[in-house]
Chains A and B, each alone.
Chain A
Amino acid sequence: MRIKEHPILNFNHQKEIHFTYNGRAMIGYEGDTIAAALYDNGIRHFSDSVLHKRPRGLYCAIGNCGSCYMQVNGNDNVKTCMTLLEENMEVISEMSENDD
């Protein structure tokens, strides 16, 4: 959920950006990273780990840890916490059962 009122900061959530997550239409805002927009849409579970298929989501949110990798516009292992959301982006969870 977006912060409506804040004693110090002003957030400019003006321009909508449309994208899909596993085929579902979603809306984020200009300036969001992919991870931020997904998070705001209630998505915490981004992908599954390769070996043990454990749920993965954000951890560090600044590009250090690699926990938020997803497939974006056909490219694998995109750091969604560092990549800005763009209009019509296709974001797909990297689930290990799809890897055959």
Chain B
Amino acid sequence: MINRDLVIIGGGPAGLSAAKVALDAGMNVTLIERFNQLGGQLIKQTHKFFGSKLQYAKTRGFEIAKILIDDLSTYSEDRLQILLDATCVGLYPDKVLTVYQYNKYLKYKAKSVIVATGASEKVLAFENNDLPGIYGAGAIQTIMNIYGIQPGKEVVMVGSGNIGLIVSYQLIQAGVKVKALLEASSTIGGYLVHASKLKRLGVDLLTNTTVKKALGKDQLEKIITVRLDDQWKEIPGSEKEIETDVLCISVGLSPLHQLMSMAGADMLDISELGGLVPKKTCDYETSIKNVYACGDVTGIEEASSAMVEGRICGLMAANHLGFKHPNALELENDLNNQLCVLRQGPCGEKIRCGLKKAGEINV
């Protein structure tokens, strides 16, 4: 059994940010990451971020990952232990963790745990939706932007939220033809600036349209689309066939809540936050004492807010165990203020509504 002040599960924007603040406060930290490098989903994001300078706006996602990782490079190995290729497969209420790495199980006992596991992509129900060639938008980004491989000859995108729009644009940058973008509702979900860019590049943006069926023997060959009326009912006779070898599903994310559920934390089902999320106090503590959660696992949002939440979480974990961050109070006020700014305006409506339902008062 390895004893640590703090174990952080997840080396993405939230986990990395939490680690930095907790280390500054004097804690010793173990950071567990499932992949072979840190950065989470930032490492495949080539677009420039919105928000303010405090969350690295106008910087590309993979460059933000580098900044966050560099911020941790000054700590000695006994202060910061980074486990790569390591999956946390067990989290228990007494803050014991089981970690699987290189065919071995490691056991940790932590005084505090921060869960920053992120999210997984939602799937869409239609006939033959399991055919190879049908991928989540994140998978497309991984194949293209991490491994430098074109995911196919032609792509049809389903979903016009920001991820669907941005990934469509990234496909074109990688030399892949985007044949059409389907959106079930009557309006484009994401920012119009992204949508206009695609229109100018000649992508058909088909609203009130969804995918009815996929066809192909061992892999995708074509899809059948169908138009939807205002009640989201299929319009008979409106089916059309589109030949394509890749269908990209971008219909949102749901929190990776499994470890929280396993530990027995009180959970809430809030659709605005993406599904099951742990109930937490305004100090980001879950119903289990000294177990905290931040980032997409507590509600689907942007990496910008995940970083800020991570910093708050690191600070709270330190505070509650009596570790003193050099400017704790100032930092806490500043971070809470940053979150308010990120969540204001019409684009923050959904998350504000979700957080209100979750019982958070400072929204």
- A residues neighboring B (CB under 8 Å): 1-9, 11, 13, 31-33, 36, 39-40, 44-46, 49, 54-65, 67, 81-82, 84
Question: Which residues, 74 to 103 on B, are CB-close (under 8 Å) to A?
Answer: 85, 87
Task: Say yes or no: A3-B150 contact (C-beta < 8 A), given A8-B173, A45-B132, A58-B132.
Answer: yes
A56 pairs with B130, CB closer than 8 A: yes
Task: Say yes or no: A33-B147 contact (C-beta < 8 A), given A8-B60, A60-B120.
Answer: yes
B149 pairs with A2, CB closer than 8 A: yes
Q: Which residues of A contact B133 (CB under 8 A)?
A: 44, 57
Q: Which residues of B contact A65 (CB under 8 A)?
A: 120
A84 pairs with B147, CB closer than 8 A: no
B218 pairs with A45, CB closer than 8 A: yes
Q: How far is the CA of A44 from the CA of B184 in the complex (A)?
A: 28
A36 pairs with B149, CB closer than 8 A: yes
CB-based A-B contact count at 8 angstroms: 98
- How many residues of B are counted as interface, with CB atoms below 8 angstroms from the partner's CB atoms? 35
Residue on A nearest B121 in the bound complex, by CB:
A60
Task: Say yes or no: A3-B148 contact (C-beta < 8 A), given A8-B60, A8-B173, A55-B219.
Answer: yes
Q: How far is the CA of A61 from the CA of B146 in the complex (A)?
A: 11
B34 pairs with A61, CB closer than 8 A: no
Q: Looking at chain A's contact residues, is the secondary structure mostly helix, strand, loop, or mixed?
A: loop
Within 8 Å of chain A (Cβ to Cβ): is B207? no
What 1/0 flags go to B138-158 for Cβ under 8 Å of A?
110011111111110000000
Q: How far is the CA of A40 from the CA of B152 in the complex (A)?
A: 10
Within 8 Å of chain A (Cβ to Cβ): is B164? no
B135 pairs with A59, CB closer than 8 A: yes
B173 pairs with A59, CB closer than 8 A: no
Q: How far is the CA of A31 from the CA of B36 in the complex (A)?
A: 10
Q: Which residues of B contact A36 (CB under 8 A)?
A: 143, 146-147, 149
A39 pairs with B149, CB closer than 8 A: yes
Those 4 A-B pairs whose CB atoms lie nearest each other, nearest first: A57-B132, A11-B148, A61-B139, A36-B147
A6 pairs with B148, CB closer than 8 A: yes
Q: Which residues of B contact A39 (CB under 8 A)?
A: 143, 147, 149, 151
Q: How far is the CA of A74 from the CA of B143 in the complex (A)?
A: 26
Q: List 15 A-B contacts (CB under 8 A).
A: A3-B149, A8-B173, A11-B148, A36-B143, A39-B147, A44-B133, A46-B132, A55-B219, A58-B135, A60-B120, A60-B136, A62-B35, A64-B121, A82-B36, A82-B85
Residue on A nearest B128 in the bound complex, by CB:
A54
Residue on A nearest B144 in the bound complex, by CB:
A3
Q: Which residues of A contact B41 (CB under 8 A)?
A: 62
Q: Which residues of B contact A59 (CB under 8 A)?
A: 134-136, 139
- A19 CB to closest chain B CB (Å) equals 15
Question: Which residues, 187 to 214 on B, are CB-close (under 8 Å) to A?
Answer: none
- A90 CB to closest chain B CB (Å) equals 17
Residue on A nearest B245 in the bound complex, by CB:
A44
Q: How far is the CA of A84 from the CA of B147 in the complex (A)?
A: 12
Q: Which residues of A contact B175 (CB under 8 A)?
A: 3-5
Which of B135, B150, B174 is close to A61, meaning CB atoms less than 8 Å apart? B135
Other than the given A36-B146, A39-B151, 5 more pairs (CB < 8 A) read: A2-B148, A44-B132, A44-B133, A60-B120, A62-B41
